[in-house]
């Protein structure tokens, strides 16, 4: 991969939520929402995080922002004065870090306070981050609304006066208000109707160009992520099973879960009848994940080794493109496709 | 809509108007909807939220809320023995309607968690329907039937699952239980109201296979409501595109996708990212928003957002135009739309 600037280094991140039971609230187990994830986010890219519900993609997003307590690992973000671990920041430092990293939530209905006007909602982060003059704030918010293609005078209205797509754009405006570098979009378009979804997707792409933003785009919709993302990380039960560039992922799908996921997506073209790879059963509970490779009970290509030994995420270089995959049978998959790959350290 | 009255048609909806009355205001939710549901075929109704797709399904089963009324039009159900039943004229919760619900026409709702009763076991809820429609079965037989229904839907360990409560089921399992319930009396028509919207793709693929199996093995007619064009392409034989209470385009799925004749269908197809086309595809969002139902455009409902709109569109609602066999559209300018291609 070319020498790109790494904005965020996540190393062995673990977020476990305790399960408490009984009168004494004794911890009886853990839900391993994020289980040993390492990844790099480059400046200026869009990294897509995909997976089914309960695979930990939202937890990972929230962990990066330190909105949930992270159990273990490190998340180093590049500030002006070098990399600092977000987990070890003091309260004030964390506030400053959140000026750089912002989040857009899934549900545009519950993420805006219904009792505040749009101005009220957007004003808070500005006060927090130091614009004391009210006129200046009005000016800035007006500009923000125009950036997300909404008229300036909408700032005096309340959230109930807006449609879902408009609200989502207000959510984006709020995230932009502090001029962040990294925006985590947590299912930002999933709740929208298709015709509106396209508007928001185009807006996100436009803003990225204009403001040199970096996105972590969390979604379950692979066709959306394919349109937006430079690189895609596929998650399953708290772990990354495959991570590579968008083109490479669709050209050389290596992990059986990714293959099944791709085959399950209905394509809006009735002439294309494709063969589905059926997956048996449901996603297992992250509180009690299967032994070995967590995908093995549903894997159509499961071997003895998979049941006992947990595969690690290894990097292969295929045609000069880095391709991370965590599967014991990846060699066989590569050979079957006749792809030459080098394993990188 | 198609007039050929062959025996395939099990349900015909003709020029259906439904209104909702709230706060002294009237919302004309359905404004002349017509379509046929055929034996062993799947009709997909596709449209954005608020366009009236769920209302259509609910009015067939007469499950509309109290403040609504079927103003005009007809819903005719053709029984196997050739008799016709006018569903719109039956008493809403009368004996006849109740005897049809679940037995001849069944519905699967979008959210299985709210559609199942949390305080009864899943088996009990399935048996409730069987008891209603097949009286005289013993307890043992009933239990056997419900277990068999669950097993047929691919639920493992059905004997144990039968005695469990909905919260012990996962999302996909609950939806299977709902389908099991819907299919327990082998209905002729299955209405599915966004059956997989709340589910993950791998699980919805399983549900689709299940529904296709029913169509194949039992000749069930399926009417499926969805907002996902991908699902339509995968499942449908015929497709009806709805916008603001009208079916704007109706036809065989291949025809509609290859030659969309209504600007809305075309715009809809252009605004979705298609898997496998990568990052270079041009998305063209539909401009504006869906109009407020209490403040509708006077003529064609899509007119304010349409690129083809002319003067006539502003004042007059287009009637159904015949494009080709089994392909209808509601647009004055459909020839131009067709000429411009996809």
Using one digit for the tens of pLDDT, what is the confidence trace for B205-230? 888 888 898 899 888 999 999 988 88
Work out how many CB contacts closer than 8 A connect A with B: 131
A141: left (phi over 0), alpha (psi -120 to 50) or beta: alpha
> At residue B2, does pLDDT exceed 80?
no
Q: Which residues of B touch A250 (CB under 8 A)?
A: 276, 278
Quick one: CA dihedral B300, B302, B304, B306, positive or negative? negative
**Beta-sheet pairing, A182-186 with A231-236:** unpaired
CB A189 within 8 A of CB A224: yes
- Does the beta carbon of B204 lie under 8 angstroms from any beta carbon of chain A? yes
For chain A, the distance separating the N- and C-terminal CA atoms, rounded to the nearest angstrom, is: 14
A84-92 CB contacts, 8 Å cutoff, 24+ apart: none
Going along A179-319, which residue ranges are E strands?
182-186, 214-219, 231-236, 239-245, 314-318
Q: Which of B322, B329, B335 is nearest to B3 (CA)?
A: B322
Calculate how close chain B gets to A224, using CA atoms only, in Å.
6
Domain locations along chain A: 6-236
CA dist., res. A176 & res. A149, Å (int): 13
Query: Does residue A345 or residue B248 have the better pLDDT?
Result: B248
Rg (CA), chain A: 21
For B107, half-sphere exposure in the C-beta direction (CA atoms, 13 angstrom radius) is 20
pLDDT one-digit tens code per residue, B54-103: 999 999 999 998 889 999 999 999 988 888 999 999 988 889 999 999 89
What average pLDDT is seen over chain B?
Answer: 88
Domain locations along chain B: 9-104+187-339, 113-186
Mean pLDDT, residues B27-31 = 90
> At residue B288, does pLDDT exceed 90?
no
Percent of chain B at pLDDT above 70? 98
Query: Does residue A277 or residue B314 have the better pLDDT?
Result: B314
Burial class (CB in 10 A: 0-12, 13-18, 19+), A137: middle
Looking at residue B112, its pLDDT comes to: 79
Question: Best mutation site among A109, A164, A193, A245 for testing chain B: the one with the most B CBs within 10 Å?
Answer: A193
Mean pLDDT, residues B315-342 = 88
Burial class (CB in 10 A: 0-12, 13-18, 19+), A263: middle
CA dist., res. A72 & res. A88, Å (int): 11
Burial class (CB in 10 A: 0-12, 13-18, 19+), B304: middle
Is A283 in Cβ contact with B200 (below 8 Å)?
Answer: yes
Q: Determine whether domain B9-104+187-339 maps to CATH 3.90.76.10.
A: no
Is B228 in Cβ contact with A266 (below 8 Å)?
Answer: yes
Maximum CA pair distance of chain A? Answer: 68
Helix (H) or strand (E) holding B38: strand B25-38
Q: B292: which 2 tokens?
A: 């407020």
> At residue B172, does pLDDT exceed 60?
yes
Q: Which of B102, B84, B104 is nearest to B14 (CA)?
A: B84
Calculate how close chain B gets to A227, using CA atoms only, in Å.
5
The residues of A whose Cβ lies within 8 A of any Cβ of B are: 52-53, 163, 165-166, 193-199, 201-202, 220, 222-224, 226-228, 246-247, 250, 260-272, 276, 278-279, 281-283
CA dist., res. B182 & res. B192, Å (int): 10
Looking at residue A42, its pLDDT comes to: 94
A218 — phi, psi (to 5°)?
-95, 125
Q: Which residues of A touch B232 (CB under 8 A)?
A: 268
- Does the beta carbon of B284 lie under 8 angstroms from any beta carbon of chain A? yes
Q: A143: which 2 tokens?
A: 């500009």
Q: Which residue has the tokens 């509970």?
A: A285
Nearest to B48 among A193, A246, A279 (CB): A193
Helix (H) or strand (E) holding B13: strand B9-22
Looking at residue A189, its pLDDT comes to: 86
Burial class (CB in 10 A: 0-12, 13-18, 19+), A310: middle
CA dist., res. B229 & res. B268, Å (int): 8
Sheet holding B68-78, edge to edge: B25-38, B9-22, B68-78, B84-86
**Beta-sheet pairing, B25-38 with B9-22:** antiparallel
Question: Best mutation site among B208, B276, B295 for testing chain A: the one with the most A CBs within 10 Å?
Answer: B276
Q: B10: which 2 tokens?
A: 């099990």
**Beta-sheet pairing, B238-243 with B42-46:** parallel
Going along chain A, which residue ranges are E strands?
6-21, 26-42, 46-50, 72-79, 82-85, 101-104, 182-186, 214-219, 231-236, 239-245, 314-318, 321-325, 341-343
Q: Which residues of B touch A255 (CB under 8 A)?
A: none
β-pair partners for A216: A47, A184
Is A270 in Cβ contact with B254 (below 8 Å)?
Answer: yes
Looking at residue A1, its pLDDT comes to: 44
Looking at residue A266, its pLDDT comes to: 84
Question: Best mutation site among B199, B234, B284 for testing chain A: the one with the most A CBs within 10 Å?
Answer: B234
Is A276 in Cβ contact with B205 (below 8 Å)?
Answer: yes
pLDDT, block means (10 residues), chain A with 345 residues: 79 91 85 90 94 87 92 92 91 89 86 90 86 89 90 89 86 90 90 83 91 92 89 93 92 90 84 76 81 89 88 88 90 80 72
Q: Which of A314, A326, A316 is nearest to A236 (CA)?
A: A326
Query: What proportions of chain B, in percent to the nearest 5, are helix, strand and coil?
Result: 35, 25, 40
Assign A199 to helix, strand or coil: helix
Sheet holding A26-42, edge to edge: A26-42, A6-21, A72-79, A82-85
Is B201 in Cβ contact with A264 (below 8 Å)?
Answer: yes
CATH number for A6-236: choose from 3.40.50.300, 3.30.300.20, 3.10.20.30, 3.30.70.580.
3.40.50.300
Looking at residue A234, its pLDDT comes to: 95
Q: What is the ipTM of this complex?
A: 0.78
Looking at residue B92, its pLDDT comes to: 86
């Amino acid at each position: 991969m070319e020498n790109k600037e790494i904005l965020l280094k996540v190393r062995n991140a673990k977020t476990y939520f305790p399960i408490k039971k009984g009168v004494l609230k004794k911890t009886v187990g853990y839900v391993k929402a994020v289980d040993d994830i390492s990844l790099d986010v480059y400046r200026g890219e869009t990294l897509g995080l995909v997976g089914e519900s309960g695979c930990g993609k939202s937890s990972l997003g929230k962990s990066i922002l330190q909105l949930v307590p992270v159990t273990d690992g490190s998340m180093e973000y590049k500030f002006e004065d070098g990399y600092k671990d977000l987990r070890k920041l003091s309260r004030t430092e964390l506030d400053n870090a959140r000026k750089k990293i912002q989040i857009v939530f899934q549900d545009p209905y519950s993420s805006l306070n219904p009792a505040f006007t749009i101005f009220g909602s957007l004003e808070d982060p500005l006060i927090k981050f130091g614009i004391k003059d009210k006129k200046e704030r009005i000016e800035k918010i007006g500009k923000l609304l125009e950036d997300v293609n909404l008229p300036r005078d909408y700032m005096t209205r309340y959230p109930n006066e807006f449609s879902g797509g408009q609200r989502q754009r207000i959510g984006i405006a709020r995230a932009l208000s502090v001029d962040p570098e990294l925006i985590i979009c947590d299912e930002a378009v999933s709740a929208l109707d298709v015709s509106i979804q396209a508007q928001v997707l185009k807006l996100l792409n436009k803003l990225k160009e204009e403001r040199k933003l970096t996105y972590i785009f969390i979604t379950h919709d692979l066709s959306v992520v394919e349109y937006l993302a430079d690189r895609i990380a596929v998650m399953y039960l708290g772990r990354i099973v495959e991570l590579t560039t968008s083109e490479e992922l669709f050209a050389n799908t290596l992990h059986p879960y990714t293959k099944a996921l791709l085959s399950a997506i209905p394509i809006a073209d009735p002439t294309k009848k494709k063969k589905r790879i059926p997956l048996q059963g449901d996603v297992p509970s992250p509180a009690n994940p299967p032994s070995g490779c967590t995908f093995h009970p549903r894997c159509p290509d499961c071997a003895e080794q998979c049941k006992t030994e947990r595969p690690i995420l290894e990097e292969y270089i295929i045609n000069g493109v880095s391709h991370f995959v965590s599967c014991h049978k990846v060699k066989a998959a590569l050979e079957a496709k006749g792809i030459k790959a080098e394993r990188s350290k | 809509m198609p007039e050929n009255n062959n025996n395939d048609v099990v349900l015909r909806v003709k020029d259906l108007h439904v209104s909702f009355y709230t706060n002294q205001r009237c919302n004309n939710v359905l404004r002349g909807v017509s379509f046929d549901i055929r034996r062993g075929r799947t009709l997909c109704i596709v449209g954005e939220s608020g366009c009236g797709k769920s209302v259509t399904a609910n009015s067939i089963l007469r499950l509309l809320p109290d403040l609504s009324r079927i103003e005009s039009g007809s819903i005719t159900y053709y029984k196997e023995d050739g008799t016709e039943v006018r569903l719109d004229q039956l008493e809403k919760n009368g004996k006849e309607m109740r005897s049809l619900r679940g037995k001849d026409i069944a519905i699967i709702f979008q959210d299985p968690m709210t559609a199942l009763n949390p305080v009864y076991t899943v088996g009990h809820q399935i048996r409730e329907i069987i008891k209603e429609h097949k009286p005289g079965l013993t307890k043992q037989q009933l239990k056997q039937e419900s277990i068999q229904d669950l097993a047929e839907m691919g639920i493992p360990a059905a004997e144990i699952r039968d005695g469990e409560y909905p919260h012990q089921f996962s999302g996909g399992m609950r939806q299977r239980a709902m389908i099991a319930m819907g299919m327990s009396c082998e209905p002729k028509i299955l209405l599915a109201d966004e059956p997989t919207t709340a589910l993950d793709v791998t699980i919805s693929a399983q549900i689709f296979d299940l529904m296709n199996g029913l169509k194949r093995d039992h000749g069930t007619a399926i009417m499926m409501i969805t907002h996902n064009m991908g699902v339509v392409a995968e499942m449908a034989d015929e497709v009806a595109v709805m916008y603001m209470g009208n079916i704007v385009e109706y036809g065989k799925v291949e025809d509609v996708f290859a030659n969309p004749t209504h600007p809305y269908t075309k715009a809809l197809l252009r605004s979705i990212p298609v898997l496998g086309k990568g990052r270079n595809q041009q998305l063209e969002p539909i401009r504006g928003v869906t109009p407020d139902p209490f403040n509708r455009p006077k003529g064609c409902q899509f007119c304010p957002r349409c690129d083809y709109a002319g003067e006539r569109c502003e004042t007059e609602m287009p009637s159904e135009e015949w494009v080709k066999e089994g392909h209808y559209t509601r647009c004055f300018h459909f020839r131009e739309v067709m000429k411009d291609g996809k």
